[in-house]
Structure 1
Amino acid sequence: MRIGVFTDTYWPQTAGIDVAVKLSVKALKEAGNEVYIITPDDPRITVEEREKEKDDNVIRVPSIKVPGQSEGTRLGIPWIPSVIKKIESLNLDVVHSHTEFTMKMMAGKIAKRNNIKHCYTYHTMFKDISEYLFPSFLKEFGYKVAKWISIKSCSNCDEIIVPSEKVRDTLINYGIKKEIKVVPTEIDKESINQVDEKSAEVLELKKRWGICEGEPVLLAIGRLEKDKEFSKIIEQMPKIIEKNPNTKLMIVGQGPLKSKLELLAKKLDVESAVIFVGGQKYDDMGKYYKLGNILINAATAGTQGLIFSEAMAAGIPIITIASEGLTNRIKETQSGIVADSIEQIPDEVLRVIEDETVASELVENGHNYIKSGSKETYINTMLGIYSSGGSESFEKDKESDEKGFQEADAMIDNEHKNTPLTETKGITQINNEL
Structure 2
Amino acid sequence: MKIGIFTDSYLPYTSGVVRSIQTFSEELTSNGHEVFIFAPSYRDCRKENRVFRFSSIPSPTNRDFTLAMPFSIRLRPTIKKLNLDLIHVHSPFLLGRLGARYARRLGIPLVFTFHTLYDQYVHYVPFAQSLTKDLAQRISRGFCNHCDLVIVPTAAVEKYLHEIGVKASIRVVPTGIKVMNYQSGDRDWLRCRFGLPEGEKVLLFVGRLGQEKNINFLMECFARINREMKNTRLVLVGGGPEEEELKNKAKELGIAGQVTFTGVLPPSDVVNCYAGADIFVFSSVTETQGIVIGEAKAAGLPVVAVAAFGVSEMVDDGIDGFLTELEPLQFIEKITLLLKNDDLYEKMSRNARNNAENLSTANCTAKLINCYSHVIERRACEV
TM-score in same-fold range (> 0.5)? yes
Q: Do the aligned partners of 1:166 and 1:326 also contact (CA within 8 Å) in 2?
A: no
Distance 1:22 1:358 in 2: 35
In the other structure, the counterpart of 1:343 is 329
Q: Are 1:77 and 2:61 an aligned pair? A: no
What is the CA-CA distance between 1:347 and the residue it aligns to? Answer: 3.3
In the other structure, the counterpart of 1:431 is none
What is the CA-CA distance between 1:134 and the residue it aligns to? Answer: 6.6
What is the CA-CA distance between 1:379 and the residue it aligns to? Answer: 2.5
Q: Helix, strand or coil for the counterpart of 1:327?
A: helix
Distance 2:236 2:226 in 1: 16
In the other structure, the counterpart of 1:258 is 243
Q: Are 1:354 and 2:340 an aligned pair? A: yes
Q: Do the aligned partners of 1:251 and 1:276 also contact (CA within 8 Å) in 2?
A: yes
Instruction: Give the counterpart of 2:220 among 210, 235, 249.
Output: 235
CA-based RMSD of the aligned residues comes to 2.5
Alignment of 1:152-191 (within 5 A): 152-191=142-181
Q: Are 1:372 and 2:358 an aligned pair? A: yes
Distance 1:376 1:324 in 2: 24
Alignment of 1:96-135 (within 5 A): 96-130=88-122, 132-133=123-124
Q: Do the aligned partners of 1:122 and 1:161 also contact (CA within 8 Å) in 2?
A: yes
Distance 2:80 2:198 in 1: 55
In the other structure, the counterpart of 1:37 is 37
Distance 2:320 2:377 in 1: 42
Distance 1:281 1:100 in 2: 28
Instruction: Give the counterpart of 2:56 among 60, 63, 74.
Output: 63
Amino acid at match of 1:127: D
Q: Helix, strand or coil for the counterpart of 1:36?
A: strand
Q: Are 1:2 and 2:14 an aligned pair? A: no
Alignment of 1:10-29 (within 5 A): 10-29=10-29
Q: Are 1:147 and 2:137 an aligned pair? A: yes
Q: Helix, strand or coil for the counterpart of 2:280?
A: strand
When structure 1 is superposed on structure 2, of 324-333 and 5-14 the one drifting more is 324-333
For each residue in 1:19-52, what CA deviation from the matched residue of structure 2 results, as whole angstroms up to 9, or x when unmatched? 111111121112121212221000133xxxx15x
Structure 2's unaligned 5+ residue stretches are none
Q: Do the aligned partners of 1:335 and 1:365 also contact (CA within 8 Å) in 2?
A: yes
Q: Helix, strand or coil for the counterpart of 2:35?
A: strand
Q: Helix, strand or coil for the counterpart of 2:74?
A: helix
What is the CA-CA distance between 1:332 and the residue it aligns to? Answer: 4.8
Distance 1:58 1:283 in 2: 23
What is the CA-CA distance between 1:160 and the residue it aligns to? Answer: 1.0
When structure 1 is superposed on structure 2, of 6-15 and 372-381 the one drifting more is 372-381
Distance 1:33 1:256 in 2: 37
Instruction: Give the counterpart of 1:382 among 364, 368, 375.
Output: 368
What is the CA-CA distance between 1:275 and the residue it aligns to? Answer: 1.1
Size of the aligned set, in residue pairs, is: 381
CA distance change for structure 1 residues 363 and 149 in 2, over 3 Å: closer, same or farther?
same
CA distance change for structure 1 residues 349 and 379 in 2, over 3 Å: closer, same or farther?
closer
Q: Do the aligned partners of 1:218 and 1:248 also contact (CA within 8 Å) in 2?
A: yes
In the other structure, the counterpart of 1:192 is 182
When the two structures are superposed, what TM-score results if normalisation uses the length of structure 1?
0.81
CA distance change for structure 1 residues 238 and 378 in 2, over 3 Å: closer, same or farther?
closer
CA distance change for structure 1 residues 362 and 343 in 2, over 3 Å: closer, same or farther?
same
Amino acid at match of 2:346: S
What is the CA-CA distance between 1:167 and the residue it aligns to? Answer: 0.8
Distance 1:379 1:2 in 2: 15
Q: Do the aligned partners of 1:117 and 1:391 also contact (CA within 8 Å) in 2?
A: no
CA distance change for structure 1 residues 2 and 146 in 2, over 3 Å: closer, same or farther?
same
Q: Do the aligned partners of 2:109 and 2:375 also contact (CA within 8 Å) in 1?
A: no
Distance 1:110 1:324 in 2: 32
Structure 1's unaligned 5+ residue stretches are 198-202, 398-434
For each residue in 1:350-388, what CA deviation from the matched residue of structure 2 results, as whole angstroms up to 9, or x when unmatched? 321222111111112222322234533322322222232
CA distance change for structure 1 residues 84 and 255 in 2, over 3 Å: closer, same or farther?
farther
What is the CA-CA distance between 1:283 and the residue it aligns to? Answer: 4.4
Distance 1:374 1:99 in 2: 24
